[in-house]
Amino acid sequence: MKILLVGMNHRTAPVEVRERFAVDDPLPWLVKLVAAPEIEEAVLISTCNRVEVIAAAPNLDAGRHRLRSFFHRDLGQGAPLVHQQSENAVLYEHVGDDAVRHLFRVSASIDSLVVGEPQILGQVKEAYRLAAEAGLCGPLLNRLFASAFASAKRVRSETQIASRPVSVARVAVDLARQIFETLEDKRALLVGAGEMSEAALVALRGAGLAGVAVANRTRERAAELAARFGATAHGLDELPQLLAASDVVLTSIGADRPLLDAPLFEAALRMRRRRPIFAIDLGVPRNIDPAVNQLDDVYLYDVDDLGGVAEANAEERRRETVRAEAIVQEEVERWGGWLSALQAVPTIQRLRARAESIRQSELDKVTAKLGLDEAQQRGVEALTRAVVNKLLHAPVSRLREQAERDDGLAYLEAAKVLFALDDPTAPGADADAGAKPGGSEPSS
Amino acid sequence: MVIELFHITAALYLLAGLAGISAIALPGARFGRATRWLLAAGALLHGVAFARLHTLPHPPQLTDLPSAVSLAAWLAVIVSLLLLRGGRLEGLAVLVSPLAFLGVFYESFALYATVPAAAAGAGSWPHLHVILASAGLALLGVAGLAGALFLAEDRALKSKRIPALRRGLPSLEALDRVNAMTIATGFPLLTCGVIAGMLWTQGETGHLFVGGAHAVWSVIAWAIYLALVVARFAAGWRGREAAACAALGFAFLLFVVIGVGAIA
C-alpha cells in the first residue's frame, strides 16, 4: 500500500484557481473517490489556502492517475490543471515519505501562508474526523494522521513558531497583555478610523476588552463606527474626558498635526490616578505627539514601532522553522520505522502459523500413540505451546526490530528462506492459508 | 543530616530559578509547572530542615543572623508560591529563587562554624522579634523584587526593546498589584518586629532604645518604609515611582539586616 498526496496551495495556484476546486462538504466527494478500486483510504483537506487529498493506494501509478482525474473531472468540473497565465502546473504530487512529510509540515503550520498560524491544525483534524467517521480511513491513514497530530503538537510545544504574533493587530494585543494583567476590565478609545486601527480594535475586543468609545470629527461618522463595534459615539471635543476613562487609545485620523499631546495625557493621568495608558498611534502623519512616550505610565507605539515588532517576530518565526523542520524529519523517520515494521507482520504471522501447525500435528500423533488421559493431554499441550513460544520469541522480536531498519527487508527474506515459508511442501505449510497477511499492526 | 537537608533545599531553589528562566524563554506550560513544584519542594524541605535544626539538643539561636536570614528566605518563597497560584508570575520566582538559595546557603555555611547555644537571645520577645521582622523582610523583599522587575519591563516597553519582553514575564499591572499587596502586609509586620525588638531590649537593659548601630539603622529603614507607605497609599503613588521606591527600600533593608547586622 502506498501513501499518495495530490493537491494545490497558495504557492502553486492563485485564489481564482483554488476556489474552483475548493469544496464545503468533502464527504460526498470522498465517498465517490474511495468507491474506485484504485484508492482504499482517503482524506480531503479543503481550506482557503489549499485543497489536498491524501490517500492510500494499492498501486502507485493507478492511484496517482485516479487522484489527478479526481481533481480535474470531479472537483474542478473539467477545470485545467495548468495555470493559464503562468502555464505552471497547479497540482503537486508527493509519494511515500515525501507525502508524509508534506502532511506533517501542513499540520505543523510550516507550509502555511502565515507560518505558525494556529487554524490549520484544527482544519486538518476536522478533515480527518469527517473521513474517519465515514469509514474512509483504514489502519494506514488512521496511524498517519495520529502521527501528524503528534508531530504538530511537538512543533508547537518545542519551538516558538507560533508564540510571536506577526500582524500589527496581534502585536497590539500582545503588548496590551504585557501592560495589563487582564483586558476584561479595560476600556478602549478609538479616535478616527482606519483599516489597521479597526483590525487592532477587533483583536483587542477578542482578547476580552470591556468597552469601547469612538470619537470622530463628526458625530454621524462616530455613530456609524460605534454601531459596528457596539461602542458609544463622541465628538473630538470630549477627548480629555474620554482619555481619562480609557486604558487603551487607538488613533487613526487624518490631521496635519498631532491631535493628542503630552499635557492632554498628563491631565488624563492625573484624573485616572496614574493608571497606565497604552496608546497606539496608527495615523500618518502621527496623531499623538511622540513626547507623550516620555511620560511615566504612558506606553506609546506608532505604526512603525508595531510594524517593526511584527517584522522581528516574523523573522524569529522563520528561524524557528528550521527547528520545526528537524522535528518533522524525526517524526517522518519514526513513521517510516513503523511502516517498515508493518511489512514484517505477514512473515511473522506465517512463521507462527507454521510452528503452530507442526506443534498441533506432532501433538495429535503423540496423544493417539500414548493414549493420554485428559489431564495429561492438557499438560503436554501446555508444554509444547511453551516450547514453541520460547523458541519463536527471539526470532520474532529480532524480525520486528530489524524490519524498522533500512536493511530490514533482507532479514525478512532470510526468515522466509530459513523457515521455508515460501515452500508449499514444507511441514506445516498447509497452515499458511490461515495466516492472513496484514491483519494486525506492529506494536509501536 | 541537617546540613545535607539545607544543601538539597539550596539546590532545589537554584533549580526553581533555572526552571523559571526557562518558563519565560521557552514555549509551553511545563517549565512554569516545574518552577512551582521545585519551589514548593524546596520550601517543604526548608521547613523540615529548619524544624530539625531547632529541635537538636544544642540548636543555634533563632536570633543568629544566618537563622534569621534563612527564615526570611523561607517565608519569601512561601509568599512567592502563594502569588504564583494567582497568575503568570514565574518572572518573580526567577528573582526570589536565587535570593532564597543564598539565604539557605548562608545558614548551612554558618552551621559548619556554629558554636552551640549562647544563652543570650533566648525567650519569647527575641523570637517574636525575629519571626515578625523576617516575615516583614520576606514580604518587603518580594515587593522590592517585583519593583525591580517592573522597572526592567517598563524600560523595555518604553524603549521598544521588544526581544527583552517575553510572554512569560508578568504584566506591569500584576507587578504593581504584587508591590502594593506585599508592602501593605509587610510594613505592619516589620513595624511589629521593630516593636518586639524594642521590648526585648527593654527586658534586657531597662530601656526601649539603647542606640546601637543595628537599632538606629533599623529605625531609619522603618522610617523609609513609612514614607513609602504614605506615598503609595495616601498620595497615590503607583507604577514606576512606587516600584523604584520598593526596590531601593529593599536594598536599604538588606544593607541594614545583613550589612549592619553582620558588623553588629
Same domain, B96 and B188: no
Residue B152 and residue B237 in contact, taking contact as beta carbons nearer than 8 Å: no
Report pLDDT for B117. 47
- Grid coordinates belonging to A334: 519514526
Query: CB contact, 8 Å: A291 with chain B?
Result: no
- Nearest chain B residue to A277, by CA: B173
- Nearest chain A residue to B175, by CA: A181
Report pLDDT for B122. 57
Looking at A180-251, list the stretches that DSSP marks H as alpha helix, in order from N- to C-terminal side: 195-206, 219-229, 239-245
Q: Please determine, for residue A341, whether its predicted confidence score (pLDDT) is greater than 80.
A: no
Give the mean model confidence (pLDDT) for residues A58-69: 91
The pLDDT-based confidence of A429 (bands split at 50, 70, 90) is low
Give the mean model confidence (pLDDT) for residues A9-34: 87
Q: What is the pLDDT of residues B216-258, one digit of tens each?
A: 888 898 999 999 999 888 888 888 889 999 999 999 988 888 8
Same domain, B65 and B9: yes
- Grid coordinates belonging to A86: 503562468
Last residue of a domain, one of B56, B86, B114: B114
Q: How far is CA A189 from CA A25, A220, A291, A402, B68, in A?
A: 42, 17, 20, 66, 51
Give the count of domains, chain B.
2
Q: Kindly determine whether residue B169 and residue A160, on different chains, have CB atoms separated by under 8 Å.
A: no
What contacts A386, CB < 8 A, 6 or more positions away?
Answer: none
Residue A289: what are its φ and ψ, rounded to 5°? Answer: -60, 125
Q: What is the pLDDT of residues B44-56, one digit of tens each?
A: 999 998 888 878 7
Q: Which of A34-48, A204-218, A396-410, B85-99 has the highest mean pLDDT?
A: A34-48
Q: Please determine, for residue A432, whether its predicted confidence score (pLDDT) is greater than 50.
A: yes
- Residue of B50, B203, B59, B189 whose CA lies nearest to B125: B203
Report pLDDT for B123. 66
Q: Please determine, for residue B62, whether its predicted confidence score (pLDDT) is greater than 80.
A: no
Same domain, B12 and B107: yes
ipTM attached to this prediction: 0.82
- Residue of A32, A11, A41, A248 whose CA lies nearest to A135: A41
Query: CB contact, 8 Å: A163 with chain B?
Result: yes
Q: Which of A256-270, A311-325, B52-66 has the highest mean pLDDT?
A: A256-270
CA distance A41 to chain B (A): 35
Same domain, B59 and B87: yes
Distance of alpha carbon A92 from alpha carbon A292, whole angstroms: 53
Give the mean model confidence (pLDDT) for residues A255-267: 90
Same domain, B170 and B206: yes
Last residue of a domain, one of B56, B80, B114: B114
Give the mean model confidence (pLDDT) for residues B22-36: 77
In this structure, of A6-10, A250-254, B25-29, the range with the lowest mean pLDDT score is B25-29
Q: Please determine, for residue B34, whether its predicted confidence score (pLDDT) is greater than 60.
A: yes
Q: Kindly determine whether residue A157 and residue B27, on different chains, have CB atoms separated by under 8 Å.
A: yes
Q: Kindly determine whether residue B157 and residue A175, on different chains, have CB atoms separated by under 8 Å.
A: yes
Residues spanned by the domain of B50: 1-114
Report pLDDT for B163. 56
Q: Which of A168-172, A258-262, B57-61 has the highest mean pLDDT?
A: A258-262
- Output the 3-class SS for B45-94: HHHHHHHHHCCCCCCCCCCCHHHHHHHHHHHHHHHHHHHHHCCCCHHHHH
Report pLDDT for B182. 92
Same domain, B219 and B163: yes
Last residue of a domain, one of B73, B95, B114: B114
Active site residue: A15, A48, A79, A382, which one?
A48
Same domain, B106 and B138: no
CA distance B207 to chain A (A): 44
Does A48 participate in catalysis according to the annotation?
yes
A232-238 long-range contacts (CB < 8 A, ≥24 apart) are A236/A191
Same domain, B148 and B261: yes
- Nearest chain A residue to B171, by CA: A178
In this structure, of B70-74, B194-198, B205-209, the range with the lowest mean pLDDT score is B205-209
Give the mean model confidence (pLDDT) for residues A73-89: 76
What contacts B58, CB < 8 A, 6 or more positions away?
Answer: B116, B117
Q: What is the pLDDT of residues A361-399, one digit of tens each?
A: 888 888 878 877 888 888 888 899 999 989 988 888 888
Same domain, B128 and B96: no
Q: Please determine, for residue A157, whether its predicted confidence score (pLDDT) is greater than 70.
A: yes
In this structure, of A23-37, A421-435, B192-206, the range with the lowest mean pLDDT score is A421-435
Give the mean model confidence (pLDDT) for residues A174-199: 85
Residue B240 and residue B177 in contact, taking contact as beta carbons nearer than 8 Å: no
Identify which of A156, A179, A273 has the shortest CB distance to residue B157. A179
Report pLDDT for A437. 44
In this structure, of A117-131, A146-160, B152-166, the range with the lowest mean pLDDT score is B152-166
Average pLDDT, chain B: 84
Residues of B in contact with A179 (CB under 8 A): 157, 171-173
Give the mean model confidence (pLDDT) for residues A8-14: 87
Report pLDDT for A87. 62
Same domain, B179 and B233: yes
Domains of chain A are 2-161 (3.30.460.30), 168-307 (3.40.50.720), 335-434 (no CATH)
Give the mean model confidence (pLDDT) for residues A83-104: 85
Average pLDDT, chain A: 85
Model confidence, pTM: 0.66
Same domain, B178 and B60: no
Same domain, B6 and B97: yes
